[in-house]
Amino acid sequence: MKNKVQFQKGFSLSEFMKHYGAEAQCRKALFQWRWPEGYVCPECRGSSYCALKTRAVYQCNRCHHQHSLISGTIFSATKLPLTTWFLAIHLLTQAKTGLSALSLRRQLGVSYNTAWGIKQKLMQVMKERDDSKPLSGIIQLDDVYWGGERRGGKRGRGSPNKIPFLAAVSVNEKGHPIAMNMNVVNGFRSKEIAKWAKRHLDADSLVVSDGLACFAAVTDAGCQHIGIVTGGGPESVSLETFTWVNTMISNVKRSINGAYHAINHKHLPRYLAEFCYRFNRRFVLEDMLPRLCYVAARTPPMPMRLLKMAEFHG
Ligand SMILES: [Zn+2]
């Protein structure tokens, strides 16, 4: 399975240039992803329109309302050509690990601020996409702190600079990982766990945890829960039940620390989402760009002001 992932073809830069190297190609593609059934006027639902020659703006033949290709999407109000966005999407989705805003800046030839904004917006798309897809089946669940030791003496009472998050991996009958999500929470309390489970797990899932008391709250979301008390020592991580969730926790820490010198803690949810998004689509490298663009066209605008604020938990 590992080899299948590592040696798949992916989407080369020359293929990218062939398909999306020109602005007109990107516009055409985005138009199709945004309106797969044909253009629909947001005002009157009319489908007959004419395209302005100079900009990617469409005018309804019935009510004359003008609507741009990017308004109402994550690309809204951008001054950059779509080719720059598409290249960013290509680079971010084909990269093996995270790509920092600094490397993105160099490869796109834009300012650091612009590269940072593009990256945060695309990570936001990834987050919203995976947040809308709950995990199901057998789920390994564990509690983690970002910025501190995983298993300290004061479990559940992290210092203020440690960010608590949940790591959940769904596995198949053979114990192979299918998908995962990692979400920052406001502490490991029953209420928080119940809220998280309702949003991120299908009812009827079977949750396996190490028995931290609050995890029983997943039953509030209709899940079954098996808590395996491990004693909490370092030997507990080798328990087969938690193999994947533990592997993913070390991988995400290594990946984020390796790709980024320091990340602002308030943006941690997006970095976690980027890691999970890539993992969840590891078998479909060739389709990464169309898939992300399709969702980007459905993700509401995210002004820089909002982007710089702390991410909502959950
Ligand atoms: Zn109209």
What whole-number distance in Å separates Cα of residue 123 and Cα of residue 285? 17
* Rounded distance from Cα 65 to ligand 1 centre (Å): 5
Asked if 52 and 58 count as a contact pair (C-beta separation under 8 A), the reply is yes
* Rounded distance from Cα 46 to ligand 1 centre (Å): 5
* Rounded distance from Cα 52 to ligand 1 centre (Å): 15
Backbone angle region of 232, left / alpha / beta, with phi > 0 → left and psi within -120 to 50 → alpha: left
Q: Which strand ranges, in their side-by-side order, compose the sheet holding 49-51? A: 49-51, 57-60, 66-68
- Tell the burial category of 180 from Cβ atoms under 10 Å away from its Cβ (0-12, 13-18, 19+): buried
Backbone angle region of 140, left / alpha / beta, with phi > 0 → left and psi within -120 to 50 → alpha: beta
* Rounded distance from Cα 42 to ligand 1 centre (Å): 7
* Rounded distance from Cα 78 to ligand 1 centre (Å): 24
pLDDT score at 162:
87
* Rounded distance from Cα 314 to ligand 1 centre (Å): 37
* Rounded distance from Cα 294 to ligand 1 centre (Å): 23
Helices 288-296 and 23-34, axial angle in degrees (round to 10): 70
* Rounded distance from Cα 48 to ligand 1 centre (Å): 8
Both tokens of residue 75?
């690309």
Distance in angstroms between the alpha carbons of the first and the last residue of the chain? 31
Instruction: Kindly provide the b/e burial profile for residues 156-179, where b requires at least 16 CB atoms within 10 angstroms of the residue's own CB.
Output: eebeeebbbbbbbbbbeeeeebeb
Please tell me whether residue 142 adopts helix, strand or coil conformation. Answer: strand
pLDDT score at 232:
57
The DSSP secondary structure of 41-108, one letter per residue, reads: -TTT----EEE-SSSSEEEETTT--EEESSTTSTTTT--S-HHHHHHHHHHHHH-SS---HHHHHHHH
> Which residues are within 8 A (CB) of 267 and not within 5 positions of it... i.e. 6 or more apart?
120, 311
Asked if 81 and 305 count as a contact pair (C-beta separation under 8 A), the reply is no
What whole-number distance in Å separates Cα of residue 269 and Cα of residue 183? 6
Residue appearing with tokens 């998004």:
277
Reference 123, options 263, 224, 286; nearest CA is 263
Tens of pLDDT, residue by residue, the chain (314 residues): 445 555 666 788 999 999 999 999 999 999 999 999 999 998 999 999 999 888 889 999 999 999 999 999 999 989 999 999 999 999 999 887 889 999 999 999 999 999 999 999 999 999 999 999 999 999 999 999 998 544 444 444 455 678 999 999 999 888 889 999 999 999 999 999 999 999 999 999 999 998 789 999 999 999 999 988 665 555 544 456 678 899 999 999 999 988 887 788 889 999 999 999 999 998 888 889 999 999 999 999 988 888 887 654 44
* Rounded distance from Cα 79 to ligand 1 centre (Å): 26
* Rounded distance from Cα 72 to ligand 1 centre (Å): 16
Both tokens of residue 256?
């984020």
Q: What DSSP character marks residue 143? A: E
What whole-number distance in Å separates Cα of residue 170 and Cα of residue 213? 21
Q: What one-letter code names the amino acid at 136?
A: S
Both tokens of residue 60?
């309804």
Pairing of strands 224-227, 206-209: parallel
pLDDT score at 291:
93
* Rounded distance from Cα 64 to ligand 1 centre (Å): 6
Residue 147 phi, psi (nearest 5)? 90, 20
* Rounded distance from Cα 31 to ligand 1 centre (Å): 17
* Rounded distance from Cα 167 to ligand 1 centre (Å): 46
* Rounded distance from Cα 38 to ligand 1 centre (Å): 14
pLDDT score at 265:
86
> Which residues are within 8 A (CB) of 3 and not within 5 positions of it... i.e. 6 or more apart?
none
* Rounded distance from Cα 69 to ligand 1 centre (Å): 15
pLDDT score at 286:
85
* Rounded distance from Cα 63 to ligand 1 centre (Å): 4
* Rounded distance from Cα 286 to ligand 1 centre (Å): 36
* Rounded distance from Cα 97 to ligand 1 centre (Å): 44
* Rounded distance from Cα 1 to ligand 1 centre (Å): 50
